[in-house]
Structure 1
Amino acid sequence: MNSSSEGRFVAPGEVVVDLHEKSDHVPGKGCYLLNNQIRASVIGYVHVKEQKEGDRVTNVVEIQISEFVDDALMPEEGRVVTAIVSDIGPQWAQCHLLSMEDRRIDKDFEYRLPKNNMRDTLFASEIEVLDCVQPGDIILARIVDYSFRQRAYVLTIAEEELGVVYAQGVKSRLRPLDFETVIDDRTGVKEKRKVAKVPMYLNASLFDQLTTAKDKLIKEEPQEASDA
């Protein structure tokens, strides 16, 4: 990966910079870090700007999404969001927001999904995070609270219609087999997930819709970079 990424059109989840190759890059607005790779969290155009601190120069990677952003749309309890799982632990999953309801936004807030909010059960000890979500998965979730201690919005996927809508395997996308299982069609390998109970054709077509949006907008020229 090199500076030729500048101006490239990307969709959520796409690798923008591999830090194994470019260690002097850091994620900025519209990006997140996963597996030592800077990835896009929104649809837009890549912009890399230099940030100087003394003699040190860092390349900040941003995605320009001004025409897609609704600045008035803020996280609020009860709103349904689409988010990507960026990290998991024994008790929670950390998420990065992709969109809220039907609009794409880019707000720099933390989102956490506690394991006791992953399934509709009174016994959190019965829930295994790895059986519900994995890094790279895209989920439908609902904002239920704000944790001042963690300085993060709290999400839930316990409702039937919430959960994984796009499962990411080691090398490829995994297709929902039922509402508890996803499968790699190439290898036949199955993995557990808390799959959203939406019609399977909607579940399977999420990234087809993103691809359509990308094809529609790919001819547009990148906007001038903003220093704001």
Structure 2
Amino acid sequence: MMTSLVVPGQPLGVATAYVPGTGVHIFNNQIIASLVGKVVTIPNASNTATTSSAPPTISVVKPVLTPEEESSSSTLLPDVSSTVLCRITRINARQATAAIFVVNDRIVGDEFQGVIRVQDVRLTEIDKVKIFTSFRPGDIVRARVISLGDQSNYYLSTASNELGVIMASSESGDSMYPINWREMKSVRTGAVEERKVAKPF
């Protein structure tokens, strides 16, 4: 069975529930995606000697594209109002820079650079927004293209409930999960860090 697109670092389930296949690894007893792609789970045959079923194998695979789709993906460009997934690469007081790798649920052939300016992080209390408490390098963010910007950057916005950080690691390197719209919690230590969190679909 195939599910929606996943990104590197995304938890897929507890290690005891699956046999790891290709495109995944185990970290802190969790099956973690190692690449951008689709999740595939394959049921394993029952063990007749014990009458019990082995856990299904879980893998992440890159979508198989037709030559036409592959050609269009390599030239796929973000446009105004496109929804993108991007990885934060660096931050400063005024903006976060990100590498765009998915446009409208399609993996792009080449990564594009985007910028989330401090005024485009959220809709409310814009004067109180701080980039350093909204994003960290390595965060995976769902954003919307609001301007084609200049020749090197697309301008992105997370100023909507469904936009923002969807995956993040703590300062100690642990996976985190959202506890509200502005905080995420480490699965291992319970430490809480601030983020501009995307509301899950």
TM class, shorter-length: 0.5 to 0.7
Find the residue that maps to 2:119 and give its secondary structure. Answer: helix
**Matched pairs, number:** 141
Q: Which runs of 5+ in 2 are unaligned?
A: 1-5, 10-33, 38-61
Equivalents in 1 of 2:86, 2:111: separation in Å?
13
User: Is 1:115 aligned with 2:84?
Assistant: no
User: Is the CA contact 1:81–1:100 (under 8 Å) kept in the aligned structure 2?
Assistant: yes
More helix by share: 1
Equivalents in 2 of 1:175, 1:167: separation in Å?
8
CA distance 1:89–1:13, shift in 2 (3 Å):
farther
Q: Specify the alignment match of 1:196 in structure 2.
A: 198
Deviation digits for residues 151-208 of structure 1 (CA, Å, limit 9, x no counterpart): 3100000111111110121211111111211001211110111111124xxxxxxxxx
Q: Runs in 1 of length 4+ with deviation above 3 angstroms?
A: 11-14, 40-43, 65-69
Question: Cα RMSD between the aligned structures?
Answer: 2.4
Q: How does 1:19-98 map to 2 (within 5 A)?
A: 42=36, 69=70, 70-98=73-101
**TM-score where L is the length of structure 2:** 0.62
User: Is 1:167 aligned with 2:168?
Assistant: yes
Equivalent residue for 1:135, pick from 110, 114, 137? 137
Equivalents in 2 of 1:133, 1:126: separation in Å?
15
CA distance 1:41–1:154, shift in 2 (3 Å):
farther
CA distance 1:77–1:110, shift in 2 (3 Å):
same
CA distance 1:76–1:169, shift in 2 (3 Å):
same
More strand by share: 2
Equivalents in 1 of 2:198, 2:7: separation in Å?
19
**TM-score where L is the length of structure 1:** 0.55
